[in-house]
Structure 1
Amino acid sequence: NLISDIGRGTFSAVTRIGTVDLARNLIKKVDFQMFQQVKYAEILNLAENNITIIETQAFTDLYQAVVNISHNALSTIETGAFVNCNNMTLLDFSHNQLSMISPRAFDENSYAYELQVSHNEFRNFSQIPIQNMTGIQILNVSYNQIESIPKLAFPKLYELHTVDMSHNNLSEIFNAVFQNLFSIRFLNLSYNSLELIKPATFGTIPTVLELNLSHNRLREISRGSLAKLVSCRLIDISYNVLEKLFQIPISLGELNVAHNNISSIKPNTWPTMNALLRLNLSDNQLTDSLQSDSFSSLLTLQALDLSANGLTKPPWEALSTLTSLQYLYLQDNNITELSRSAFGNLPTTFKIDLSRNQLTSVAQRAFNGLQQLLDLSLSGNKLENIPNEAFKGLVALRKLDLSHNFLEKIDNKTNGLLDDCLSLEEVNLSYNKIGFLTKKMFPSNPWIPYRLREIDLSYNEIPVVTHDLTLGAKKVKKLNLSGNYINDVRNNVLGNLTSLEVLDLSHNNLKDLVSRTSEIKFTLPENITELILSNNSLESLPTPNIMSSKYLKLLDVRQNQLTSFEPELVRKIKHEGLAVLFQ
């Protein structure tokens, strides 16, 4: 509304009111005793006004209320503004212009469980009055200009569990300043200007579970400075300039040191530990420095990220001790070839990502020792050819990504590259140079129950779809042939893909779905649910076949040369729920 003034006594007649919502008006100040008579209120919302000042005794006798004064122009809170306001659930001063709050703005009985003062103009942490807020649980002072956390910044607080000081200008933290916080669990100091963590910066804080120091300027973390955080489960020190690792708490479950300048991992860097499950070392400068003892103390590590480290070969010696490793990320390195048994023996590894390397060669049995591998990505490399038996031994592999390479074929006259992948369900061959679909491209054997369900051949150089596709794709449910040069689909090819549910033929050169090279009757897959034919040159549609497709729910024929829309399709839209995209 356009309310600009609230007089004293406005709410005297409705003393038991539960919610007062004055948000998005034109109020300029919270006047003396404005809310004196609403002691039963649960929500007082003054957000998004033009408030610049909160006067003395503006809020009195509140209990467990939410007070929201965010998104104003607040710069002044007078002495005694909050009187006898016990246990405020939330006090939100965020998105204002506060640079200080008088310690006498709150009397000894007034405090909030959650205090939000983010997005203000505080430079000095001591100007935030928490000395009397004995019951505070959450403190958010992010997005200010605070430069240091001084001695005695925090009184003894027994319930404060979350402190967010991110997005400030912090360059100094006084020794052991957080030790008065006896229940602190989550401490966020990210996006500041810290350069050094001294031995006593944190001291012994037995309750911290998560510590975020990311996006600072840290060049050194003193040995042992974090080791005393004995309950810590997650430490994030990514996006700093560290050149060496540091001692970590024995209880740590996840460590993120991505985007630093670490060039080596020295012996005895890690204690012998059973807790660390995830380690992110991506975007550092490790190159090929990893040795057999680099991770030998990490007995239960499950996920290791070594992407963007300048590796030129898989670090199989360093990996050989990781008997519990499940996820290995090696993308964005400079690996050029995979030799036989390139990863050694990793019996529990489920996923390996080698995308965006410089791979030109993959040897036969390159993945020996990876019996449980489920997901393999070789996308974005320079592969022109992969020899048969390269994937020999990958009997559990379900997902294979070979997209964005230079492959022209993946088979020869007698065998196919994928024949050894008995459990393969999804293969991505998009953005290659495959010209023809051949009989051995996809595995087929009457005595082997292959499981291939999804094929992506988009953006290759395929001119025609022949019957050879049907040999290995009879169980495929999703087939993407978009972005090729297809001008003909041989009749009954689609009809023989009896399990097919989703077919994408968009962005090709089709003028007609019914082939002119054969007299065999044209049919659609009996289980088709989505047929995407957009961006072709179709002049007509096989309307009888579409009408008889009882499961078809989506037909996309946008950007074609169609000049009419069959009335039969209108009936199918109306009575059977067919969605047609037509332009």
Structure 2
Amino acid sequence: LHLTDTPLASIADHAFYGINDTLQELHLVRTEMTQFPTEALKILGLLKVLNIDGHKIELLAKGSFAGAQFEGSLEKLHLVNGPLTELAADIFGSLKKVKTLDLHGNQLGTLKKGQFKGMREVEILDLSYNNLTKLDATHVSDLTKMTWCNVSNNALTEITRGTFARNTVLRVVNMAANAIRKIDANTFRGMRFLRRLYLSDNMISDVGRGTFGSVTRIGTIDLARNRIKKVDFQMFFQLNYVELIDLAENEITEIQKDAFKDLYLTHINISHNRLETIEPKSFINCANMTVLDLSHNLIRAIPRTAFDETTYATEWIVTHNLLTNMTQLPLSNMTGLKILNVSYNNLVEIPKNTFPKLYELHTIDVSHNNISHIYNAVFQNLLSLRNLNLSHNALEKIGPSTFGTLPTLLELDLSYNRLRDITRGALAKTTGLRFLHMQHNKLEKVFQIPISLNELNLSHNEIAEIPEKTWPTMNSLLGLDLSHNRLGNNLARGSFAGLLTLQRLHLVSNGISTVPKDSFSDLGTMQYLYLAHNNISELPKGAFGRLPILFELQLTDNGLETVADRAFDGLLQLLTLNMSRNVLRSVPNGAFFGLVSLRRLDLSHNLLTTIDNKTHGLLDDCLSLDELNLSHNRFSFVTRKTFPSDPYIPYRLRSVDLSYNTMSIVTGDLKVGTGTLENEVFRMPANFTTLHLQHNKLNNASYDALLRLSNLTLLDLRSNELTRFEPELVKRMKVSNLTVALGANPLQCDCYMRPLFHHLRLLPSIGVVYRELECAGPGSLAGERLYNVSDELLACVPAVEDDAFRPLPDLRFREIAYFRGQLVVNWYVAASSDVADFYVYIRDRANRIIVERTVAYSSRSLAIDGTDIVPQGDPQLELCVLAKSSDGAINFLDTQCVPLPA
């Protein structure tokens, strides 16, 4: 049973009668309860889970669980997120079977001696997010089976000696975010099964020698964000099972001798400290450290003897330090090293003998340094090198032997350097290279590239020409990026000769004014051509030559003025053509001749006024056109030939964008050629969840299409000119979690607002979205908040007979019938307003009272003896049941009167 977000203040003693022999889980989430419902819960004999989350209980008094029938069945008790400040002594003593006790998120300041006495089955104890200042053995010694203890985010200042001495099977302790200042060898004595220890975000400055000696099975030691100043002698010694040692964000300045000893497969994090000194033999017999993170420190050099011959890391991170030379890293014994990251240092060179033979090293990152010189063949000893990142440095030249023989190298990044010259053959022996990044340098010519290359990025350089025979004959290069260079009109026949399989060519921002048709003649395999941001002002006939499998052509932002007939002749497979952001005023009808495969055409942001000559259209040759964008032009009308149409040709135009033009009228010609557009152009996808239409000038809305969106959860119509909250929206709100925001609209608070008003009255609380609804009319209600208006004032003249627009009755009839000479009446309360008692009477059409009774609120029925019902002349009688408020006022409504049965 889940009771969530209800203003529940108390539970009557017998509320759970009827389900007391079956209920196993009870969840009371975000209620207003100020006292623990002892009497109501004690009869729940099979209860296994009791969850009270978000409450107002300040004291859990003695005997709260005494005599409860669930003493032998309750397994999980959650009393969380409330103002609970005090627990009575021995309060949980009767709960012998509880395995999980959760008291997090309260205001507990102290625990009493023997607080958890008798709870020998508890395995999980959560006291996090309280105000506890002390935790010792007198509090938790009775929890002998506890395996998981969370006291994080409290105000503990110390871990007293022997706190967990009797909790011998404890495996996880979380004491993060407290004010603990020190830990020593006595802190964890007796906790031989401890696996996870979380002490981050404390004030620990002193970690005694041998602190972790008694927890030899420890797997995680988290000491991040403390005040530790050094890693002391044998601080982490013979911890054979440790997986993670986190010392990040402390104040560590040195690592002493033998600090890390006899560790295996450990992730060590000492990042974000002030580490300057690493003493010799700091890491002894630490085989295969999965990650050694020394980043964000002040390291200038690491002594060669800091790691002994058996110590190595799989991944070594030394970023954001002060290293100036790669020889300051002792790599001689790092035999199992796979990833080395030395980025963001002050390296100026990679000298000779930097790398010994490291057979497993596959990734090196030395980016964001100031490297200007690399010694010849320095990487040649790395027989498994796959990725080398030298970007963001100061390299000016790559010599013939800089990289030497690197047959395994797959990716080389030399971007963001100052390279002017790459000697011919400098990369000849990188025979396996697939990706080469050379962007943002100062190269003036194309160098000899490896024959195995797949992707070459030469953008943002100073290349002015590509002479013939620049490229070797190769069938591997798929992508070439020459954007943002100085090629101009210097591309000639043979500029791309030899590139037998090139698919993507980027020539963006090169100052090209004439399409280099001849240079493309060698690129019969090209599929994507990008010529945006150049100076191409004219496209002559057959401007691109024959490119039989070109799929996409980008000509955006070129200043294009003229397009000749058959300008795209030879592009039989072109699917996408983008000519947006140019200065086209007209395009001849035959310009797109031959583009029978074209599906997407973008002519937006031009100066076009028409694309037909009234007898033929520009798009008649585009037999496969799917999407057309003509927005941001100067179209003032649409003619019959604007869009392609022919009774014998199955055009399939699906999407047309004509926004931001100067059309003042739409004629019937718009239908010609657009018969294949999708039905209901403005139909929204079925998975729509949120629609924002606020701050417009909507004064009328049809919600049929919106209400078909089954996933819609928010419709925001604030700040428009709507006067009604439509009833169909209220119907949808009742059966789903739809929220409709209509604030800041000139709402008319008449009877048509009643469906919403009645729905809000039945809610346990009114959300902010509906509290801001304000009446603009009639005048008597102007400025009033809707939820403050009384039902009677929401009136229409003349009155509307539909029950949905009539005042909501306080109660409704269940049954009215004669039984054994008595008139039996049953009803139920339908409103959440103030109802104290019930006033029942029988009247005739002259409003003469025949019978009257007052019924207590606790009753919902009444039996009237038939002999008391004696008409005074008029035989037609009515029965009325009215609600009386706590101050005696009676609210009369016609709907609460019904004719008496015959």
TM-score band, normalised by shorter chain: 0.7 to 0.9
CA contact (8 A) 2:468 2:497 kept: no
Select 1:566's aligned residue among 719, 726, 739: 726
CA-CA distance at 1:529 after TM superposition: 11
Letter in 1 for 2:358: L
2:354 maps to what in 1? 153
CA contact (8 A) 2:242 2:266 kept: yes
1:347 maps to what in 2? 548
CA-CA distance at 1:568 after TM superposition: 2.0
1:3 maps to what in 2? 203
Residues 419/529 of structure 1: CA separation in 2 closer, same or farther (3 Å cut) = farther
CA-CA distance at 1:297 after TM superposition: 0.9
CA-CA distance at 1:437 after TM superposition: 3.8
2:697 maps to what in 1? 537
1:317 maps to what in 2? 518
CA-CA distance at 1:461 after TM superposition: 2.6
**CA distance, structure 2, for counterparts of residue 465 and residue 105 of structure 1:** 81
Alignment of 1:52-451 (within 5 A): 52-451=253-652
CA contact (8 A) 1:119 1:142 kept: yes
Letter in 1 for 2:651: Y
**CA distance, structure 2, for counterparts of residue 528 and residue 118 of structure 1:** 45
**CA distance, structure 1, for counterparts of residue 472 and residue 398 of structure 2:** 20
1:475 maps to what in 2? 676
CA contact (8 A) 1:18 1:43 kept: yes
**CA distance, structure 2, for counterparts of residue 260 and residue 350 of structure 1:** 27
CA contact (8 A) 1:501 1:530 kept: no
**CA distance, structure 2, for counterparts of residue 581 and residue 346 of structure 1:** 55
CA contact (8 A) 1:476 1:500 kept: no
CA-CA distance at 1:337 after TM superposition: 0.9
Letter in 2 for 1:404: H
- Over the matched positions of the two proteins, sequence identity in percent amounts to 56
* Deviations 1:59-103 (CA, angstroms, capped at 9, x unpaired): 111111111111222222111111100011111111212111111
**SS at the partner of 1:85?**
strand
CA-CA distance at 1:332 after TM superposition: 0.9
Letter in 2 for 1:571: K
**SS at the partner of 1:91?**
strand
**SS at the partner of 1:132?**
coil
CA-CA distance at 1:28 after TM superposition: 2.4
2:664 maps to what in 1? 463
1:501 maps to what in 2? 683
CA-CA distance at 1:334 after TM superposition: 0.5
CA contact (8 A) 1:528 1:549 kept: no
CA contact (8 A) 2:718 2:742 kept: yes
CA contact (8 A) 1:501 1:527 kept: no
Q: Which has the higher contact order (CA 8 A, sep 6+)?
A: 1
* Deviations 1:196-228 (CA, angstroms, capped at 9, x unpaired): 111111122111111111100001001111122
CA-CA distance at 1:535 after TM superposition: 5.2
Residues 271/371 of structure 1: CA separation in 2 closer, same or farther (3 Å cut) = same
Alignment of 1:510-521 (within 5 A): none
**CA distance, structure 2, for counterparts of residue 476 and residue 74 of structure 1:** 67
Query: Is 2:776 the partner of 1:575?
Result: no
CA contact (8 A) 1:214 1:238 kept: yes
CA-CA distance at 1:551 after TM superposition: 7.2
Letter in 2 for 1:407: L
Residues 38/531 of structure 1: CA separation in 2 closer, same or farther (3 Å cut) = closer
Residues 460/21 of structure 1: CA separation in 2 closer, same or farther (3 Å cut) = farther
CA-CA distance at 1:464 after TM superposition: 4.3
Letter in 1 for 2:203: I
**CA distance, structure 2, for counterparts of residue 416 and residue 581 of structure 1:** 47
For the aligned residue pairs, the C-alpha RMSD in angstroms reads: 2.5
**CA distance, structure 1, for counterparts of residue 732 and residue 667 of structure 2:** 30
CA contact (8 A) 2:469 2:497 kept: no
CA contact (8 A) 1:113 1:137 kept: yes
**CA distance, structure 1, for counterparts of residue 474 and residue 316 of structure 2:** 38
**CA distance, structure 1, for counterparts of residue 615 and residue 494 of structure 2:** 44
Residues 67/216 of structure 1: CA separation in 2 closer, same or farther (3 Å cut) = same
Residues 392/500 of structure 1: CA separation in 2 closer, same or farther (3 Å cut) = farther
The answer to which structure has the higher strand fraction is 2
CA contact (8 A) 1:499 1:527 kept: no
CA contact (8 A) 2:219 2:242 kept: yes
TM-score (norm 2): 0.57
Letter in 1 for 2:434: R
* Unmatched tracts of structure 1, length 5 or more: 478-496, 504-525
**SS at the partner of 1:418?**
helix
TM-score (norm 1): 0.87
Residues 46/340 of structure 1: CA separation in 2 closer, same or farther (3 Å cut) = same
Letter in 2 for 1:213: L
**SS at the partner of 1:244?**
coil
**CA distance, structure 2, for counterparts of residue 340 and residue 250 of structure 1:** 36
CA-CA distance at 1:446 after TM superposition: 4.0
* Deviations 1:145-203 (CA, angstroms, capped at 9, x unpaired): 10001111111111111111110000001111111111111111010000011111112
CA-CA distance at 1:467 after TM superposition: 4.0
1:482 maps to what in 2? none
* Deviations 1:290-342 (CA, angstroms, capped at 9, x unpaired): 11111111111111111111111111100011111011111111000111111
Residues 60/374 of structure 1: CA separation in 2 closer, same or farther (3 Å cut) = same
Aligned residues: 541
* Deviations 1:507-566 (CA, angstroms, capped at 9, x unpaired): xxxxxxxxxxxxxxxxxxx999998866542222235x4577577958664553224432
Residues 541/122 of structure 1: CA separation in 2 closer, same or farther (3 Å cut) = same
**CA distance, structure 1, for counterparts of residue 741 and residue 455 of structure 2:** 47
**CA distance, structure 2, for counterparts of residue 387 and residue 557 of structure 1:** 45
Structure 1 range deviating more: 354-363 or 444-453: 444-453
Structure 1 range deviating more: 529-538 or 300-309: 529-538
1:481 maps to what in 2? none
Residues 13/567 of structure 1: CA separation in 2 closer, same or farther (3 Å cut) = farther
CA contact (8 A) 1:402 1:429 kept: yes
| Greater radius of gyration (CA) | 2
Residues 35/150 of structure 1: CA separation in 2 closer, same or farther (3 Å cut) = same
CA contact (8 A) 1:557 1:580 kept: yes
CA contact (8 A) 2:238 2:263 kept: no
CA-CA distance at 1:401 after TM superposition: 1.6
CA-CA distance at 1:579 after TM superposition: 7.1
**SS at the partner of 2:286?**
coil
Residues 174/54 of structure 1: CA separation in 2 closer, same or farther (3 Å cut) = same
